[in-house]
Amino acid sequence: MSAAARTLRLDVAADLLTLLRDTTTEPRPDIQLEALTLAVAADLPVLLWGEPGIGKTAALQQLAAALELPLTTVIASVHEPSDFSGLPVVGADPAVQGVPMAPPDWAVRLVHQGRGLLFLDELSTAPPAVQAALLRLVLERRVGALKLPPGIRIVAAANPRSSAADGWELSAPLANRFVHLQWLHDHDVVVRGLGGTWPRAALPELDPALLPEAVTFARRAVCGFLTVRSALVHQLPTNEVRRGGPWPSPRSWEMALSLIAFGTAAGTSREVLSMLVRGTVGDGPGLELLAFLDRMDLPDPETLLADPAAATLPDRGDLRQIVLDGVVEAVRKRPERERWDAAWALLVRALETGAPDLVVVPASTLAALRRPDWEVPAAVDRLAGAVSLSRRADRAGARVATAAGRRR
């Protein structure tokens, strides 16, 4: 076969490869991608955890293309510590000028570009010495004597130690500098992507009018939560594996605050915000903070008692129960006839707009607060049927459970 014939066949093969790589994107709900882009917009380092071959690298390539950012990939495990801390270069007069730490070529290219996405891959296979050298890069954006420009965003990827080649646990100082996201494959996304259409990444749309309010809300949320849960300000896990993940510290709480502010300004869903907050301070503290956020949005019991006819109660049963319990507690702290009557009117409104069983406990507690000279309001008659029915249902349920236990 002649050289020209071989070249022609390679050209045809290249055409086929071009067709295989020719894909498009579409707007599609993707919680993982939305969480990633929100953290990138907040200029926080993100660490994607996932099994090999699950598409972490492909997701970063698509993200860089969608945001029109040049992508620089650095395989952390094949570099020396000096590749991140800088190589000492002796000048003409080191006694006067010192010995500068020269950055590697990829860092110089990032500075010249002025903006871009730095992807640190295979982080969990980087030895401890390399992880230590990465601390300053991730936190201060410095490589040797070179300061990376503000337009550089950092995203890393890692495999769990069980599936990483010669893997190491992430050091606690390095882990605490990242927002940790568990990256899982979505069957529908993979199938549609293999067919040529992948989800489109897009930066969140921040409402300029909401920016001051978002910052105020985020600060009030985190500071209010840590005021009542002071033990969670800094809680270094005792387990080595958990130290390599998200855990609460002043640094990670600051990141959580930023994410709440960005999420509020962007109107982010609670599911995405949950993923980000738990990926910053850990599952336990993160879930507690999210529950605290729910309670922050609840109406003030005193406002409800002042005008029960105009009260708007939460639709969610657990939040409605918290509100009703709070109203009864407010009456208990300041028991007055007018407030007691207003609480009954509010319970009637809750009965008319929600599940009857939610008023049983508050009604029983409120009834116990009655003073001898207080007349029973007419509203009690409307509640009596619901309370009686609920109690009969509880007793019937208890009898069924007892009978079932005897049959065993």
Q: Do 186 and 212 fall within a single domain? A: no
Q: Which domain holds residue 350?
A: 301-407
In order, the DSSP letters of 151-188 are EEEEEEEE--GGGSTT--PPPHHHHTTSEEEE----HH
Distance CA 263, CA 275 (A): 11
Is residue 116 within 8 Å of 63, Cβ to Cβ? no
Q: Is residue 184 part of a domain?
A: yes
pTM value?
0.75
Q: Is residue 4 part of a domain?
A: no
Question: Which stretches of the chain drop beneath a pLDDT of 70?
Answer: 1, 91-98, 161-167, 379, 382, 384-408
Q: Do 313 and 283 fall within a single domain? A: no
Give me the pLDDT at residue 22, please: 87
Q: Do 313 and 288 fall within a single domain? A: no
Q: Which of 153, 168, 199 is the last residue of a domain?
A: 199
* CA angle in degrees (0–180, nearest 5) for 300-306-311: 65
Q: Is residue 330 part of a domain?
A: yes
* CA angle in degrees (0–180, nearest 5) for 37-38-39: 90
Q: Do 168 and 37 fall within a single domain? A: yes
Classify each residue of 20-33 as buried b or exposed e, where b means 16 or more C-beta atoms within 10 Å of its C-beta.
Answer: eeeeebeeeebebb
Is residue 127 within 8 Å of 76, Cβ to Cβ? no
Q: Please report, for the domain that includes residue 117, its CATH number.
A: 3.40.50.300
Looking at residue 357, the DSSP 8-state letter turns out to be G
Q: Which of 296, 324, 351 is the last residue of a domain?
A: 296
Distance CA 199, CA 192 (A): 9
Number of domains in the chain: 3
Q: Is residue 19 part of a domain?
A: no
Q: Do 34 and 183 fall within a single domain? A: yes
* CA angle in degrees (0–180, nearest 5) for 130-117-40: 100
Give me the pLDDT at residue 388, please: 53
Q: Do 352 and 289 fall within a single domain? A: no
Q: Is residue 143 part of a domain?
A: yes
Q: Do 166 and 256 fall within a single domain? A: no
Q: Is residue 14 part of a domain?
A: no
Looking at residue 230, the DSSP 8-state letter turns out to be G
Nearest by Cα to 256 from 232, 228, 233, 276: 276
Q: What's the full length of the chain, in residues?
A: 408
Q: Note the pLDDT tens digit of each residue in 19-52.
A: 988 888 888 888 999 999 999 999 999 999 988 8
Q: Do 262 and 243 fall within a single domain? A: yes
